């Protein structure tokens, strides 16, 4: 403790290393966004967003069918996952100490850690191989499994934030459990539930492996749920790994659209969460 100069110098040295680490990390991450923006902006325009892909070498073409396919499959996933997961979260909230609640919580956490690739192969072997074709439906199912843990765990947390004093007041007024859930707890937690769903949608929209293994891709407009379906992440993957310069450029355009949607969803969710926390 005697040599204060030496201690300060040593501290300064390591602090500089920390600043360097942070600088490198933030710079690399900023660089990724920069490239996505710069190379994407060069391609994205109205007809890029609304037209079908063209064959190699033919100018124009876009990501219209992939955009619709992604919207549809993420929507389908949400349609399956949201009711089941919120109902599950209500069970966890109403019977927090039950045995099933403990198992369900553990299962959800396990699910959140499974690589999405495994979920994709699971749906591939169970649905795609059994029905004999890749389909938007299988893609929706795979995405619903990816979304499930995010929705369930965030919903449980949001429901728990409704104060027990209010629940007791509701019960004291003679409301049944069901009435308490529908008239007090769900409305009170609505904002938080929406945040959870938005984060889950953002997560699902960016998934490549689960969609690639279940819906594959397509170069045409979607006409039925039972056929291979294009999606943004899979299109980026295919175009990026193709040897054609115009497809590679389109991959950057699609990446810009995808990243923009996902970041807007995440920022909105965080802002909403901030508002909810402030009101509380």
Partner 1 sequence: MQEIRRASYSGTREGLFHYITFLAALGLVALVLGIFFLVTMQAAPAWRAFGFSFLTTSIWDPMHNEFGAVPALVGTVLTAILALVVATPLSVGTAIFLSEMLPQRLRRPLSFMVELLAAVPSVVYGLWGLFVLAPWLRTGVGQFLTDHLGFLPIFAGPSLGIGVLTSSLVLAIMVLPTITAISGEVIRGVPTGLREAMYALGATRWEVITRVILPTSKPGIVGALLLGLGRAIGEAIAVTMVIGNANLLPRSLFAPAQTMASLIVNEFPEAFDLHLSALLLLAALLFLITLAINIIAAWFVHRPSPDATATDKESVWARLLPKGGG
Residues in 129-158 that interact with partner 1 by CB under 8 A: 129, 145-146, 148-150, 152-154, 156-157
Residues in 197-226 that interact with partner 1 by CB under 8 A: 199, 202-203, 205-210, 212-213, 216
Cα–Cα distance between 245 and 53 in angstroms, integer?
14
Residue 70 within binding range of partner 1, rule CB under 8 A: no
Q: Choose the stretch contacting partner 1; rule: CB under 8 A; options: 42-50, 57-65, 218-226, 257-265.
A: 257-265
Interface map 72-101 toward partner 1 (x if CB under 8 A)? -----------xxx-xx-xxx-x-----xx
For the bound state, the minimum distance from the C-beta of residue 262 to partner 1, rounded and expressed in Å, comes to 6
For the bound state, the minimum distance from the C-beta of residue 212 to partner 1, rounded and expressed in Å, comes to 7
Q: Choose the stretch contacting partner 1; rule: CB under 8 A; options: 28-36, 59-67, 68-76, 218-226.
A: 28-36
Contact 83, 96 (CB under 8 A): no
Residue 103 within binding range of partner 1, rule CB under 8 A: yes
Position among 179, 190, 220, 221 found at the interface with partner 1 (CB under 8 A): 179
For the bound state, the minimum distance from the C-beta of residue 221 to partner 1, rounded and expressed in Å, comes to 23
Any idea what the Cα angle at residue 205 is, between residues 272 and 201, rounded to 5°? 35
Cα–Cα distance between 180 and 232 in angstroms, integer?
42
Contacts 24+ apart (CB under 8 A), 61-65: 61/250, 62/250, 62/253, 63/232, 63/235, 63/250, 63/253, 63/254, 63/257, 64/221, 65/218, 65/219, 65/220, 65/221, 65/222, 65/230
3-state secondary structure 154-189: HHHHHHHCCCHHHHHHHHHCCCCHHHHHHHHHHHHH
Residue 262 within binding range of partner 1, rule CB under 8 A: yes
Is 65 or 154 the residue whose CB approaches partner 1 more closely? 154
């Amino acid at each position: 403790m005697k040599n204060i100069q030496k201690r300060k110098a040593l501290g300064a040295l390591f602090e500089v290393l920390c600043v360097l680490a942070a600088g490198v990390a933030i710079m690399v991450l900023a660089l990724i966004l920069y490239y996505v923006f710069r190379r994407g902006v060069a391609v994205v325009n109205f007809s890029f967003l609304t037209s079908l892909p063209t064959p190699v070498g033919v100018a124009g073409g876009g990501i219209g069918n992939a955009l619709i396919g992604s919207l549809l499959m993420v929507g389908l996933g949400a349609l399956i996952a949201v009711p089941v997961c919120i109902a599950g979260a209500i069970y966890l909230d109403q019977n927090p100490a039950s045995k099933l609640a403990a198992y369900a919580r553990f299962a959800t956490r396990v699910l959140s850690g499974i690589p999405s690739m495994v979920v994709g192969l699971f749906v591939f072997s169970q649905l795609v191989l059994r029905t004999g074709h890749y389909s938007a439906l299988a893609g929706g199912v795979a995405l619903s499994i990816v979304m499930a843990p995010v929705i369930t765990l965030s919903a449980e947390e949001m429901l728990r934030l409704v104060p027990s004093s209010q629940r007791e007041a509701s019960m004291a007024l003679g409301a049944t459990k069901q009435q308490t859930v529908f008239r007090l707890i769900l409305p009170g937690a609505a904002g938080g539930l929406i945040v959870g769903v938005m984060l889950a949608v953002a997560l699902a929209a960016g998934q490549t492996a689960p969609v690639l293994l279940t819906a594959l891709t397509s170069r045409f407009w979607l006409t039925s749920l039972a056929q291979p379906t294009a999606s943004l992440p899979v299109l980026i993957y295919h175009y990026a790994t193709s040897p054609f310069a115009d497809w590679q450029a389109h991959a950057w355009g699609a990446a810009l659209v995808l990243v923009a949607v996902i970041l807007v969803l995440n920022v909105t969710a965080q802002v909403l969460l901030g508002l909810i926390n402030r009101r509380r």
